[in-house]
Amino acid sequence: MPRHSDANAQHVDSKTRRKLEDQRRMQFRRAIEDHCEELRLRQELADYPELVAAAYLSSNRQGRRSAQRAG
């Protein structure tokens, strides 16, 4: 994994540098996990398109009802 350094990072001690590298790694790992989870959910929803449509219609109706009550 290439190390990215900027002008400020050159003056930090090794413990701080390792901590920052770990934070970047964890941020990258979370992004990958989020992406994988999103792909998995999309695949599951693709198996049941009628549920997606029903959920959309249901949320649309509820939104209209709450808007009518407020108005």
pLDDT digits (tens, 9 = 90+) for 11-43: 779 999 999 999 999 999 999 999 999 999 888
**Domain annotation covers residue 39:** yes
**pTM exceeds 0.75, yes or no:** no
| Angle at alpha carbon of residue 36, lines to 47 and 43, rounded to 5° | 5
**Domain annotation covers residue 6:** no
The three-state secondary structure class of 65 is helix
**Domain annotation covers residue 10:** no
Q: Domain count of the chain?
A: 1
What is the domain extent for residue 57?
15-70
> Cα–Cα distance between 12 and 10 in angstroms, integer?
6
> What pLDDT was estimated at residue 63?
63
Q: What percent of the chain stands above pLDDT 70? A: 70
**Domain annotation covers residue 7:** no
